Each structure stands twice: as structure tokens, then as C-alpha cells.
Chains A and B, each alone.
Chain A
Amino acid sequence: MSDEEVISLYLKTRSSSYFTMLYSRYSGKVYSKCISLLKDEQLSDDATQDIFLKIYLNLAKFSGKSKFSTWVYSITYNYCIDYIRRKKKERNIFSEDIENVGEPLEDVEDHELLEIEVSRLKRVMNVIPPGDRAVLLMKYQDDMSIRDISEVLEKSESAIKMKIKRAKHKAKSSYKELYKD
């Protein structure tokens, strides 16, 4: 059964078994995104519960314009980025907030990042700023469009393109730094 079918059955019957079905499909993915961004198991557990509460409360508002997974991930990224800004008091969550934005950047080919060995990629993702991590995950892990990402981060599409470019550059330079040989 597709997600959309499960949602429409849930909205018709209000049977919790349909919501449980959605929970079992997405809780692992939501948790793994939370742990990537928040870096804390207990926090990620709590965040996953909060995110599913939001999904539960807003499920009737899901219009079906985008895929359900995209909607779920949007809520997840929004929650985590908001949490980092609010609770961790990190205002500089993108590398462009920290580094010199005037500096011209070389283009990084997608395959240069996509083909990094998994354990190394994990390490690279751990050292780059959380905002850069989030845009790379949205683009390469969740296949979100520039428009979707711009809606999540409430920025223009051109700003998002620039953020992705900087995030790719940051990831590549971090990789080079971590694995000099």
C-alpha cells in the first residue's frame, strides 16, 4: 500500500494502525537524520517523537503536492535546524556564515562526493557545519528538489543553489584535510 493510500485510510477511519504503519516506515529514517544533525542519541529519540507528534497533528493538512517522504523530511530538517539555532545557540550553521563569501569557489562534481567511501563520508559529514550537512542530505539522500529545499529553509532558490555549492566545496575540502594521503 502506498503512503498516500495509508494516509487517506487513516483520515477516513482514524484507526491508529494506519498511523503505526507510517511510523514503522519512517521512524528509522527520521531518527537517522536527527542523529546526523543533532549528534546526540537521547536528543534524537526525543526529536523523533516530537516530529511524529507534529506529523500526527498535521496529517490532515498534507496536501499531496509533494511526496509524503519529502513532507516528512521537511518537518525533520526544519525541526533539527530550528533546534540547533535555538537550543545550541549556533547561529552560524552554514559554512558561508563562517567563511569568506567573496571568495570564488571551484565547482565540485557530484560524483566526487557520491563516491566517497561510506565510513569516510560519515566522518566528513560529521565535521562540516550542520546547515551544509542538511542541504547535502536533502539533495543527495532524499532527492529533494531545489524548490523543496528552498521551502524548508525559507530561502530563494538561487540562495539554495549557492548553499549547495558551498556545502559541496566544504565537504570536499574537509575530505582532503581528513585524508591527506
Chain B
Amino acid sequence: MSRDTRNNFKRLSDDEELESRDDKELQGSISFISSISRVIELYLPGFFQLLISLTGGGDEKDKKAGPPNHNSGLAKRDNEHGPSEPPA
């Protein structure tokens, strides 16, 4: 066999190696995307809820959760003399 002639067995090996690498990269990308989407799925509703509560929405839930905390900074700013503080 002349080593100078075209040897498609070698090209076959290169092709298969590339294919398997591509498959693995694709699988890697798919698993990365699915783990990202899982994270979004888990935390996005919570994030929106936080956003809603920060903008003053979500009254129903707040009522269920109990009375608002008047010692918080926001409560103090709205009402300088909170019920917990004695009048001057």
C-alpha cells in the first residue's frame, strides 16, 4: 500500500471523532440550558412576588401574613411616632 494515496479510513476516524465531540458539546449546551431554565422556573415566581411586595402590591398575602412591621424603616418614615415609640 502506498502511504501517499488518499486514505479515507483516516478521514472516517476524524469525522467520527468530530461528530462525537459535537454531540457531547450539544448535550453539554442542552444540559446547561435546561439547568438555567430550571433555576428560572424555581426563582422567577419568587422574584416577581418580591417585586410586587416592594411596589406595595400583594395586600391579600400581607393580611394573611399578619400585621405590618412598624419598626421597619419605611413605617418610621411614614409615621415619625410609631405606636412602639412614646410621644415626645
Contact = CB atoms under 8 A, between A and B. Distances in A.
Interface string B8-40: 111111011100110100000000000000000
A2 to B, nearest CB: 20
A35 B16 contact: yes
Interface of B is mostly: helix
A140 interface: yes
B1 interface: yes
Interface residues of B, number: 17
Nearest to A136: B9
Interface of A is mostly: helix
A125 B6 contact: no
Contact of A141 (B6, B10, B21): B10
A137 B13 CA distance: 9
Contacts of A116: 8
Contacts of A110: 1-2, 5
Nearest to B1: A110
Closest 3 CB pairs of A and B: A32-B16, A110-B1, A140-B9
29 contacts: A28-B20, A31-B20, A32-B13, A32-B16, A33-B13, A35-B20, A110-B5, A111-B1, A111-B2, A111-B5, A113-B9, A114-B5, A114-B7, A114-B8, A114-B9, A115-B8, A116-B8, A118-B11, A118-B15, A121-B8, A121-B9, A121-B12, A125-B12, A137-B9, A140-B7, A140-B10, A141-B9, A141-B12, A141-B13
Interface of B: 1-2, 5-13, 15-17, 20-21, 23
